[in-house]
């Protein structure tokens, strides 16, 4: 039974069971003040109930704000009411809400109906109220059993209805402001935040969460859907614990943490983040760390290998140059070729570990591909993989960092190897290199399983891998793409499932010729203008080698095992050039050079340095500043004599014809 406060008259009149003059009026005002001060709907209901208790006897009531924003509402009281009583009360509310155009939420009763107490008392008192925005609501009260509300009681309830209207209006405004502030705050957060309502459905989310959910479960709007429907079953995840997982659709890494929102009953907050880049950076750092450890280890190994290799290569070349017997010559040529092969393996390992400094030189792809394929020769043989290599004749070099370009080739070839190992024979790897329009194009093709179309645009992104955990990092092709870009080039793929894959690397051609390769077995040549040479090296075999090789052609070779001994030799006699190791016990090559620079400055420009292993930053800086040529061990005798000839020639040009220094102190005539 709906009423209206206006039909009850302009003011409350004394009379009736619940109305008793000034005292009641005071109580009503107190109640109104108390209701007005409620901070949230729960407090509001509680205070409303208390006020009605004091002013009126009721068994159930509900205030329906009528703004359509509530899914369900608790009916206060009703504990002593049976199912039938509840049914009648709800039915009357329903009819009034229809008549007053109030959107009715689902009504929830506080407790199970008590048995045997279905009898209902007087009809309900239902009063509509309006807020300032014109939105209507209802206050519905069911008087207690046996209470018949008189006009005073009806006015009382009508007053409380108006009070409820005022409170709800204020709350709604406040709520809207709070929501706006909350949404603005959520938008500031770098992670995705999703708020779920009591039913577990998405009630609010920030932009980041919207994007992440679209990545994870498709573009349909998330609002109103449950997390299960979005493919994130929270029920199976521990509360308030960060869980990391991979997206099924995109292979990206995400973290999720959920918890109940404090002070909101059943509402839940979900924090979702895309941590792919972070994890990527971490893995990259680990990878870099690993590479640096490998690099350090390799530089030690290289040092130990390069010194004996220098002697093997040098002596075999020396013997070869002196050999007249055809069979011996053949055998020695083989020794030289094998020593050079061993040298290439060491160099390749160092380049792959990237312990060499970046550079921009003319790089012959022909040589580079040949060396990488040689590195894979054994695994290819084991896996029965046929390899074809077709470099175009007169292929121009490319300008770049040899080590970085080698890394590209290693990645492409090892990916092809992986693909071929898992498919039927015949297994073929075909590498071609051609020139067109000022660019060099390298094609690496295999007839392995190929790449599904859906993966084609993702394989160059970091951390995309289809290989088992531990077998792939997903970094190889990303690194290739970056190196290609660094060199002003591009890398593409063509592939179809079942038909293999072809990677195409395009690099700008370089017009400067690549450095000449020393052919195995080339005999050492005489060094013009080199009459007296000082060799400083702590390796006995190496000193002996240079002594034998160079004195053959008339150069007098004096040797010293360290810098201090070398200084003594220099003080005792003049030299046309100095060949010095850099790393030596006692006075090292750099300190030795510094001493010479101070005492005989002209001689400081006639040094050729030998580096036995990977150069560290100090050594690189030293070599750059002093400008002296350097040769990494092991080198061919031809390379050494070529370099010495240049140094001797520069000596002639720079100092005139005078190469001899006055007895005992070359520094005095230095210019
Ligand atoms: P990883 O080798 O560590 O997986 P890459 O970036 O080198 O990382 O390769 C990414 C993915 O590209 C591989 O996991 C594989 O699925 C695919 N791929 C690369 N090369 C080939 C190839 N030759 N044949 C088939 N798939 C390939």
Instruction: Say yes or no to pLDDT of 355 above 60.
Output: no
Test site for ligand 1: of 459, 462, 470, most ligand atoms within 8 A of the Cβ: 459
pLDDT score recorded for residue 415: 94
Query: What gap in Å lies between CA 300 and CA 287, rounded to an integer?
Result: 20
* Domain 365-514 -> CATH class: alpha beta
The winner for highest mean pLDDT among 31-45, 200-214, 226-240, 441-455 is 441-455
pLDDT-derived band of residue 351, with 50, 70 and 90 as boundaries? low
- Which three-class secondary structure string do you get for 292-324? HHHHHHHHHHHHHHHHHHHHHHHHHHHHHHHCC
pLDDT score recorded for residue 615: 60
Test site for ligand 1: of 447, 453, 477, 478, most ligand atoms within 8 A of the Cβ: 477
**Atom 14 of ligand 1, nearest CA residue:** 465
pLDDT score recorded for residue 67: 67
Q: What is the pLDDT of residues 509-554, one digit of tens each?
A: 886 555 544 444 444 445 666 888 999 998 888 888 888 888 877 7
Q: Say if residue 172 is preceded by a cis peptide, omega within 30 of 0.
A: no
| pTM to 2 decimal places | 0.40
Atom of ligand 1 nearest to the CA of 471: 3
Query: What gap in Å lies between CA 106 and CA 94, rounded to an integer?
Result: 10
Beta bridge mates, 205: 194
Q: What is the pLDDT of residues 586-622, one digit of tens each?
A: 888 999 999 999 999 989 989 999 886 656 678 878 8
pLDDT score recorded for residue 501: 97
pLDDT score recorded for residue 519: 45
Higher-pLDDT residue of 492 and 20 is: 492
- Which three-class secondary structure string do you get for 513-541? CCCCCCCCCCCCCCCCCCCEEEEECCCHH
Instruction: Say yes or no to pLDDT of 626 above 70.
Output: yes
Cα(175) to centroid of ligand 1, in Å? 53
Query: What gap in Å lies between CA 65 and CA 96, rounded to an integer?
Result: 14
Please give the CATH superfamily to which domain 189-274 belongs.
PAS domain (3.30.450.20)
Question: What does the mean pLDDT of the chain come to?
Answer: 80
Q: Which of 120-129, 196-205, 292-301, 323-332 has the weakest average pLDDT?
A: 292-301
pLDDT score recorded for residue 38: 85
Instruction: Just give the CATH number of 5-175.
Output: 3.30.450
Q: Which of 121-130, 330-339, 423-432, 509-518 has the weakest average pLDDT?
A: 509-518
pLDDT score recorded for residue 526: 53
Instruction: Say yes or no to pLDDT of 575 above 50.
Output: yes
C-alpha angle 329/335/339, rounded to 5°? Answer: 145
Numbered ranges of CATH 3.30.450.20 in the chain:
189-274
Q: Mean of the pLDDT values across residues 468-480?
A: 77
pLDDT-derived band of residue 339, with 50, 70 and 90 as boundaries? confident
Numbered ranges of CATH 3.40.50.2300 in the chain:
532-652
Give percent of the chain above pLDDT 70.
82
Q: What is the pLDDT of residues 45-65, one digit of tens each?
A: 888 888 888 888 888 888 888
Instruction: Say yes or no to pLDDT of 634 above 90.
Output: no
Q: What is the pLDDT of residues 415-447, one digit of tens each?
A: 999 999 989 999 999 999 999 888 999 999 999
Ligand 1 site: residues with CB under 6 angstroms?
A: 411, 415-416, 419, 446, 448-451, 459, 464-467, 472-478, 501
For the domain made up of 532-652, give the CATH fold: Rossmann fold (3.40.50)
Query: What gap in Å lies between CA 118 and CA 18, rounded to an integer?
Result: 25
């Amino acid at each position: 039974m709906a009423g209206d406060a206006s039909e009850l008259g302009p003011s409350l009149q004394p009379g009736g069971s619940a109305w008793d003059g000034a005292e009641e009026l005071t109580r009503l005002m107190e109640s109104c003040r108390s209701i007005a001060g409620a901070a949230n709907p729960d407090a509001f209901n509680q205070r409303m109930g208390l006020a009605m208790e004091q002013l009126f006897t009721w068994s159930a009531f509900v205030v329906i704000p009528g703004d359509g924003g509530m899914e369900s509402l608790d009916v206060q009281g009703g504990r002593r009411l049976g199912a039938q009583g509840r049914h009648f009360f709800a039915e009357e509310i329903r009819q009034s809400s229809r008549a007053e155009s109030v959107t009715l939420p689902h009504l929830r009763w506080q407790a199970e109906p008590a048995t045997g107490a279905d009898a209902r008392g007087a009809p309900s008192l239902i009063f509509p109220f309006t807020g300032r925005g014109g939105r209507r609501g209802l206050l519905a009260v069911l008087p207690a059993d046996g209470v018949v509300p008189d006009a005073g009681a009806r006015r009382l309830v009508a007053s409380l209805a108006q009070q409820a209207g005022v409170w709800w209006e204020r709350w709604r405004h406040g709520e809207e402001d709070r929501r706006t502030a909350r949404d603005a705050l959520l938008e500031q957060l770098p992670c995705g935040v999703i708020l779920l309502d009591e039913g577990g459905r998405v009630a609010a989310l920030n932009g980041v969460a919207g994007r992440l959910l679209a990545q994870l479960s498709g573009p349909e709007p998330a609002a109103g859907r449950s997390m299960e429907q979005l493919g994130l079953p929270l029920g199976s995840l521990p509360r308030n614990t960060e869980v990391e997982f991979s997206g099924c659709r995109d292979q990206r890494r995400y973290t999720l943490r959920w918890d109940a929102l404090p002070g909101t009953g059943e509402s839940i907050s979900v924090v979702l983040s895309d941590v792919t880049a972070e994890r990527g950076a971490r893995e990259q750092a680990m990878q870099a760390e690993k590479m640096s450890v490998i690099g350090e280890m390799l530089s030690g190994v290289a040092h130990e290998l390069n010194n004996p290799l220098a002697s093997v290569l040098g002596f075999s070349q020396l013997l070869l140059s002196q050999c007249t017997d055809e069979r011996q010559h053949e055998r020695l040529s083989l020794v030289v070729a094998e020593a050079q092969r061993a040298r290439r393996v060491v160099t390749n390992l160092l380049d792959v570990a990237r312990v060499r400094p970046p550079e921009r030189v003319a790089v012959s792809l022909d040589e580079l591909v040949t060396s990488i394929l040689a590195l894979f020769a054994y695994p290819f043989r084991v896996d029965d993989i046929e390899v074809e290599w077709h470099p175009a004749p007169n292929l121009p070099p490319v300008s770049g960092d040899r080590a970085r370009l080698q890394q590209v080739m290693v990645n492409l070839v090892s990916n092809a190897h992986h693909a071929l190992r898992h498919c039927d024979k015949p297994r073929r790897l075909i590498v071609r290199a051609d020139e067109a329009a000022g660019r060099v194009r390298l094609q690496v093709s295999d007839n392995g399983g190929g790449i599904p179309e859906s993966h084609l645009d993702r394989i160059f992104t970091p951390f995309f891998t289809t290989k088992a955990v531990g077998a792939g990092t997903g970094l190889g092709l990303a690194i290739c793409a970056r190196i290609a870009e660094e060199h002003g080039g591009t890398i593409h793929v063509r592939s179809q499932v079942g038909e293999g894959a072809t990677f195409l690397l395009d690099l700008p051609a370089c017009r400067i010729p690549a450095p000449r390769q020393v052919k195995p077995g080339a005999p050492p040549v005489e060094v013009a203008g080199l009459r007296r040479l000082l060799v400083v090296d702590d390796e006995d075999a190496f000193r002996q080698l240079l002594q034998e090789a160079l004195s053959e052609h008339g150069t007098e070779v004096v040797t010293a095992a360290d810098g201090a001994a070398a200084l003594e030799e220099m003080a005792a006699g003049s030299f046309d050039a100095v060949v010095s190791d850099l790393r030596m016990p006692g006075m090292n090559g750099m300190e030795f050079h510094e001493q010479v620079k101070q005492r005989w400055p002209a001689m400081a420009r006639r040094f050729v340095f030998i580096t036995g292993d990977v150069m560290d930053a100090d050594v690189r800086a030293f070599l750059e500043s002093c400008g002296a040529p350097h040769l990494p061990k092991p080198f061919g005798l031809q390379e050494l004599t070529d370099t010495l000839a240049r140094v001797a020639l520069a000596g002639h040009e720079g100092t005139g014809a005078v190469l001899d220094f006055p007895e005992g102190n070359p520094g005095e005539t230095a210019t």
